[in-house]
Amino acid sequence: MWSGNGQLGKRTDKRIVLAIIAAIAVIAALIAAIMYLEKQEGSGQAPAADPGGGITEGESAQIDPAVFDRIEDDLPDKSAVTARPDAWYGLYESSGGIEHETGLEGAIAVCPDVYAWIEVPGCGIDYPIAYCEDAVEPFYYTHDIHGDPSDNGMIITDSMNEDDFSDPLTLVYGHNAEDGTMFAGLAGFRDSDFFEENQYINIYLHDAELKYRIYACFIGPADNMLVAYDFTDPAQFNAFFDPMEDIRDLSANFRQTEKPSVGDHVIGLVTHCDDEDKRLFVYAVLDEVRY
């Protein structure tokens, strides 16, 4: 799915790896040569005279220090090797530095269960994300960042997912708050013009920005699909997403070019709607990584 300089590449930089291997091979060969020459000197034997102008009897081996300087110059920039995050998203090429200042560090200082930040441009959504171990009664869905009871709660993910967005599908929950906060702004994606103009969701982790392009917005059954489907199984992944555009919702919007395929990282934003048996869903596919 990824193409162009602005989209995600699904391979590591092989040139860096090959350069490191080549440099190690050169250094190993030089060390072996030095050890051989030292052994010859220690045994009182010297290599035979080289008619081509090499080492002659009685001469000691000398290696021009400039050789090592050239090897060091040929090694890849250390920062280019170490700058990649250790997490799964470090396998992807970065499109540049993180673009948006968040309050993530401050939020983590207040609440250690905060681990990420979500921004949905155009919706007024710009909040920390807390991780809840209890998926049945998630604490921060009914409590604020200070741990106090709150009708609006926080934006959360739960133990049905990892806390690093590495799963094929990560669900993010937020209240459709009456005061317009939390995930109330997601209703805007029901409008086709708004859906067309506002295409991205940004997730910020402590060392990276994950940029997702929105695929769909619709109202559907409140069933938890993470219970019904194993999204690590390609067949079940496709069984869930392939018929999605057949949903019976006259206000549903889809961006067909962004339909999820096996191997993608997808997020689903979930909030309440007027029908208690249904939920408003916004799905988006990872499009770009910055770190």
pLDDT tens for the chain, residues 1 to 291:
333 344 454 434 444 445 555 556 656 666 666 666 566 555 555 444 444 555 555 555 566 666 656 666 666 555 555 478 999 999 999 999 888 889 999 999 999 999 999 999 999 999 999 999 999 999 999 999 999 999 999 999 999 999 999 999 999 999 999 999 999 999 999 999 999 999 999 999 999 999 999 999 999 999 999 999 999 999 999 999 999 999 999 999 999 999 999 999 999 999 999 999 999 999 999 999 999
CB–CB of 180/127 below 8 Å?
Answer: no
CA distance 180 to 178: 5
First CA to last CA across the chain, in angstroms? 21
> In terms of Cα–Cα distance, which of 222, 205, 123 is closest to 166?
205
Residue type at 228? Answer: A
pTM of full prediction above 0.85: no
CA distance 45 to 156: 74
Count CA atoms within 13 Å of residue 144 on its CB side. 7
Q: And the tokens for 117?
A: 């930040």
Task: Assign domain 104-290 to its CATH architecture.
Answer: Beta Barrel (2.40)
Residue type at 98? Answer: I
What does the DSSP assignment read for 20-63?
A: HHHHHHHHHHHHHHHHHHHHHHHTT--PPP-TTT---TTPPP--
Residue type at 104? Answer: L
C-alpha distances in angstroms, 32 versus 39, 58, 124, 136, 195?
A: 11, 21, 64, 63, 64
Domain ranges of the chain: 14-83, 104-290
